[in-house]
Amino acid sequence: MKKGHLIPMRINLNPPADATAKNESTTFLMIRFAITYSVFLLIILLLMVHLHRVSTTRSEEDFWNQDQSTFESAVSLLDNNFTTMDSITRQLSMNTKLYRLATMKSTDDNDFYLSGLTMKQSLASYMYSYNELPFSTYFVYLRNSGYIISVNTFNSEQLYYIRNYLSSGANFNEWHDLLNNNLTKDSALYPLSDFMLPESGNAYLYVLNMDVLTYKDIPATVAFHINEQTLRKIFSGVSLGDTGYIIAVDAQDQPVFSLSEDKNTSSEKDLNTLTESVLSLSYDDNNTCVHNDTHIMRIASKTNDWTFYLVQPESIYPSDYQFIFLLILFAAIIGGLIMIFILVRNNMRPILHLDDQLQETLHANTQLIEEAAAIRPVLYDNYLRQLMSGVITTPDELSFIQNYLHLEDPSLHYYVLYGVTYENDPAADTFPNENTSTESSESMKDIIAGLLARYFSYENNLYLCSPKKHIYAVLIPFSGTADEILITLQEKALKFHSELLEEYSIWFFAGIGLSCSFTNIWESYQQAKDAAGYTSKNYIFLPYEMLKKDSHVYYYPAEFSTRLIRSITGGNKSQVIEIFNLIHQENIEERSLPFQLLRFLLTDIRNTLLKARFTYTGESTPQIAEIDTMLSQDELTFRLCEDISIKLCDFFASKSEKNNLIDSIVTYIRENYKNPALCLSKISDEFHISESYFSHMFKENMNVNFSVYLEDLRLTEAAHLIEKGESCINEIALEVGYNNQTSFRRAFKKKYGVTPSSFGVQS
């Protein structure tokens, strides 16, 4: 279908499909719905089973991830404690008194004991600063003298051992070796189970070599006494179950310590066995492993070279809720079956009724599509008529039509070709006349339109309208040199005429206007129309620029008068100026009218301006008074007429803007009247106008003051809400924008003659 080419509507109005055939398919439809519901139920069952599996897997993953996070937090806390112990040791190494005492080898000097007692008091202050740490006590072992300083004592190592560990002195040598074994590394953790009574509980000695740790030559060792109960408290958030345990392994894969609920796993043999079992397994990227119904995690310490392993039985994962989930799943399945049965049994009739409505809707939609396709050429024809007649007055409307016709390219210029067809032989029946049938007329119009499309299309679009019978106006967009395009169009017009004459015995006489922009298509159309009036059998194609202008006749066709009135009342100043430029060019520049004809022309223009002025019937304004004075002058000039038209154009444009502003303000008030803050100043600020101007403009256009209008709007809504009876009077007053109940009741009684409560009773 060619755009711009008017084609008659052909709409399918046939009724829907035969109802009998549809009734025969009812049984099949019922079976199909039953099968569909069954398949739907099966999909739901599969989804629920999948959901159960996914939720179980996700829940289990979340459980182990939570345990892993708790385990990581505990390890991090222990690392922080060890780091703090290291910091204490480093602070002690900075103590000059301790350094002096540690380097003393002789214990015979009184200064040795005096320095030791002084240092003992200093250690007490450190103890109070770190009372939140997991060690119960700590001491400094002086390797040169064999003495130990703690918060409570300053004695030889043997005496310290007897008082704090085994009073019998058993295993002293082994304990002495612990304090001297770590001379090449900065720290170590040793179990104290062999040096304490069984009822004392397990404990560990965390030993730090000050010489290695601080890179100073300090022959001293700091030892922290850590109870196993304290370690258990750190890892208390980790669930071990009955058989789970935590084990720490050093860089040489030797066990450091372990924690478990089983009291029999603390022996060295058991520790080695546990260590070998966790080290022999393969771990994934998350440092986890599942082996023999146990879940194993490992975490590397960030403080030392230890690796912590958490071994948990799979049975600690709570699975009781899965039984409840299965019960819910089973109940959902039964409920789904019952629901499907009810739907299939009871809902077939509404579904069939819905099918009838759907068929009717589809039929109506098909009709709508056909109507839209049929009316599209009508729109193209209408828009082209408006462009060529110049009735478009606003830039927005012009821009919309330009986009609708797909002529948005700003580089385009336009010619208008105005053609008239005549039959070659008046007796022949090849050309439609007044007595020709409508079908024959439309057929010939389609033939001519098809030929025009072949010669004058632009990007496969023919912009054609037919203002009258036998008349064809074609809008021809082009980009390039106007003179070259004009020569090409002349050749095409002659070929078109020859083909039409040879095959259908029809003459085609055409005129073409000057090239123009999109806004001045009407001007080119008028020129083409004028040029077509001068064509003959010897000149079947005539450009407007070749016309000889008669200086004995002024040029002011009726179309110019109509177009000028529309442009003025539409506020289109640029169009008004363009019309006056064209009138000046045609009559003064090209025709050089004599004085008497010029007076006649100016009189016609004044009559046109008077028609435009009296389209306004409102109250007189200073602008209108000035225009009336100018129109009443006896001596007219072309410039005066142009000035009057521009002033009229400005007046109608301002009036249109004012009406648009009032419409916007009224819409804003209706949308925001429930806001108690809505007032004269708020609206003035919103629309950037003064309060006095707004008040005057509102009264002038609405015939009522703003405050009265707003109050009436609020009270009308309040009366409506009171009639509904869904809210109390106080709530309604607040809802419609009244903050003061007394003001609301007084205003309501003034408008309706009764109080709000009485109005509600009457309603």
- What CATH number is attached to the domain comprising 677? 1.10.10.60
- 49 in a structural domain: no
Provide mean pLDDT across the span 144-173: 85
- 208 in a structural domain: no
Position with higher pLDDT, 620 vs 265? 620
Return the structure tokens found at 283. Answer: 């771990």
Is the confidence at residue 100, as pLDDT, over 80?
yes
Q: How many domains does the chain have?
A: 3
Q: What is the CA radius of gyration of the chain?
A: 52
**Is residue 745 located within the same domain as residue 682?**
yes
- 100 in a structural domain: no
Q: How confident is the model at residue 478 (pLDDT cuts 50, 70, 90)?
A: very high
- 442 in a structural domain: yes
Q: How confident is the model at residue 20 (pLDDT cuts 50, 70, 90)?
A: low
Whole-angstrom distance, CA of residue 302 vs CA of residue 326:
44
pLDDT at 349: 67
Q: How confident is the model at residue 164 (pLDDT cuts 50, 70, 90)?
A: confident
**Is residue 526 located within the same domain as residue 554?**
no
pTM of the complete model beyond 0.75: no
3-class SS of residue 261: coil
Provide mean pLDDT across the span 341-366: 75
* Strand stretches in 122-253, DSSP E: 135-142, 147-150, 154-156, 187-191, 203-209, 220-227, 245-249
- 15 in a structural domain: no
Residue 70's beta-bridge partner residues?
Answer: none
Residues ≥6 apart with Cβ < 8 Å to 64? 288, 295, 297, 317
**Is residue 696 located within the same domain as residue 742?**
yes
Is the confidence at residue 414, as pLDDT, over 50?
yes
Say how many Å lie between the first and final Cα of the chain, rounded: 62
pLDDT at 3: 42
Q: How confident is the model at residue 358 (pLDDT cuts 50, 70, 90)?
A: confident
Provide mean pLDDT across the span 687-710: 82
**Is residue 400 located within the same domain as residue 528?**
yes
Return the structure tokens found at 723. Answer: 């009639």
**Is residue 704 located within the same domain as residue 586?**
no
Return the structure tokens found at 578. Answer: 């363009």
Whole-angstrom distance, CA of residue 157 vs CA of residue 173:
11
**Is residue 462 located within the same domain as residue 584?**
no
Residues ≥6 apart with Cβ < 8 Å to 322? 56
Backbone angles phi, psi at 220, to 5 degrees: -145, 155
- 22 in a structural domain: no
**Is residue 525 located within the same domain as residue 555?**
no
- Return the ∠ at Cα 320 (arms to 314 and 325), rounded to 5°: 120
CB neighbours of residue 355 within 10 Å:
14
Whole-angstrom distance, CA of residue 614 vs CA of residue 652:
12
The range of the structural domain enclosing residue 634 comes to 548-656
pLDDT, averaged across the chain:
81
- 28 in a structural domain: no
**Is residue 582 located within the same domain as residue 619?**
yes
**Is residue 394 located within the same domain as residue 528?**
yes
Question: Which range is least confidently modeled, 128-137, 438-447, 626-635?
Answer: 128-137
- Residue 556's nearest CA partner among 535, 573, 540, 579 is 579
pLDDT at 472: 92
**Is residue 497 located within the same domain as residue 568?**
no
Determine which helix (DSSP H) or strand (DSSP E) holds 343, and give its type and residue range: helix 320-346
- 57 in a structural domain: no
Three-state secondary structure along 418-478? Answer: EEEEEECCCCCCCCCCCCCCHHHHHHHHHHHHHHHHHHHCECCECEEECCCCCEEEEEEEE
What sign does the CA torsion over 673, 677, 681, 684 have?
negative
**Is residue 560 located within the same domain as residue 528?**
no
Domain limit, last residue, from 502, 532, 562: 532
Sheet holding 245-249, edge to edge: 255-260, 245-249, 307-313, 294-300, 288-291
The proportion of the chain whose per-residue pLDDT surpasses 90, expressed as a percent, equals 4
Q: How confident is the model at residue 2 (pLDDT cuts 50, 70, 90)?
A: very low
Strands 203-209 and 220-227: antiparallel
Segment 113-132, tens digit of pLDDT = 888 888 888 877 766 555 66
Residues ≥6 apart with Cβ < 8 Å to 339? none
**Is residue 554 located within the same domain as residue 685?**
no
